[in-house]
Chain A
Amino acid sequence: MAQKKLVLNSAWCKGCGICAAFCPKQVLAISGEKVAIVNQDACIFCGQCEQRCPDYAIYIEDNEEVGNQWVRPY
């Protein structure tokens, strides 16, 4: 099962606010000089933030969950 995760690399963030402005679910907000994930659970992994972040500081990680490959339950 694929498990997606919203990842923020604060070291690269310059706080322009583009991601927060175009997030359809208000997951992100500018706090101080950088962006912060304020409502992780609301994220729908649409990728609007990732494709418009000029600094590549926010992205969606697609973790392929490695289950037990050898035993199939069916």
Chain B
Amino acid sequence: MASELIDKYMRPEHLPHIWCPGCGNGIIMRDVAQAIENLGLDHDKVVIVSGIGCSSRAAGYMDFNTIHTTHGRAIAFATGIKLANPELNVIVLAGDGDISAIGGNHLIHAARRNIGITVVVFNNNIYGMTGGQYSPTTPRGEKGTTAPYGNIDRSFDIAGLAYGAGASFAARGSVYHVQQTISYIQQGISHKGFSIIDVADICPTYYGRKNKKGSAVDMMKYQRDNAVMQDKAVTMTAEELKGKVVIGVLAQVNYPEFTKEYQKIIDRLGREAEERERS
């Protein structure tokens, strides 16, 4: 028994999922399904690729061509799939640790290459699956099992990092802002080039409990009350932005897309070989 959307795009025999009560991953997974529904994409032309982590279980629940790969390598696999068949809509679902720690290099180089895949980051600021270790997106001063006195490092802004590395579409959403996030994912999938949607997730079980953030509801209310749109955020100072959740489209630029450029080289070399044979 499930709604039409879930029946159409998920594998109900694998539901309910294993995520904790109040975990935001389910909300983001539904956002992705809704974005695909809104775009009217062909089921067989969508490939969902995931790595390792709580969020990466999503590949098992979504009813598309799915592949659950090794830790941090989701983008590497996705690059291969996209290059082999550029017609496919390749969507990578990954956690913050997966994509920005062990997979950080794949992220920046895929962004630099501007290959036409879409990355949706389930950014819950912690490693949930392994028991709450701090991740590259854990804010400075916040606690994790490996940072019992507070994390010293500053956190990564994943959307900003990808944009800096050359991604042509970067956006931030949150689990509270469902409609906006769906719209960003839609824009990301339609965009020709590398697109990344960094979604602020909630992890009440580890991040929330370790840092006394309250229940899942409290964490969502925090997102609601502290969200700032990107357009407004650029006019604010770093002091004012402290503790705020910035959402919106960070950047959208048109660069040549990798698979198209690659095809151009194949075509050119083919033509040159033909000319050589003729002469």
Contact = CB atoms under 8 A, between A and B. Distances in A.
Interface of A: 7, 9, 11-12, 14-18, 21-22, 50-57, 59-61
Contacts of A14: 16, 20-22
A51 B31 CA distance: 8
Q: How would you classify the secondary structure of chain A's contact residues: helix, strand, loop or mixed?
A: mixed
A9 B6 CA distance: 13
A60 to B, nearest CB: 8
26 contacts: A7-B1, A7-B3, A9-B1, A11-B1, A11-B16, A14-B21, A14-B22, A16-B21, A17-B215, A21-B220, A51-B178, A52-B176, A52-B178, A53-B26, A54-B22, A54-B24, A54-B27, A55-B15, A55-B17, A55-B26, A56-B2, A56-B3, A56-B16, A56-B26, A57-B16, A59-B3
Nearest to B7: A56
Interface string B212-228: 00011100110000000
Contacts of B23: 54
A16 B15 contact: no
B19 interface: yes
Contacts of B215: 16-17
Nearest to B27: A54
A53 B17 CA distance: 12
B22 A61 contact: no
A21 B220 CA distance: 10
B268 to A, nearest CB: 48
Question: Which interface residue of B10, B24, B25 has the most chain A CB atoms within 10 A?
Answer: B24
B216 A16 contact: yes
A5 to B, nearest CB: 11
B30 interface: yes
Ranked nearest first, the 6 interchain pairs of A and B with the lowest CB-CB distance are A54-B26, A16-B22, A14-B21, A59-B3, A21-B217, A12-B16
B175 interface: yes
A21 B16 contact: no
Contacts of B20: 14
Given A16-B21, A18-B220, 4 more contacts: A51-B27, A51-B34, A54-B19, A54-B216
Question: Which interface residue of A7, A18, A22, A56 has the most chain B CB atoms within 10 A?
Answer: A56
A51 B22 contact: no
A64 to B, nearest CB: 12
Interface string B159-176: 000000000000000011
Contacts of B217: 16-18, 21
A59 B34 CA distance: 14
Contacts of B216: 16-18, 54
Contacts of A11: 1, 16
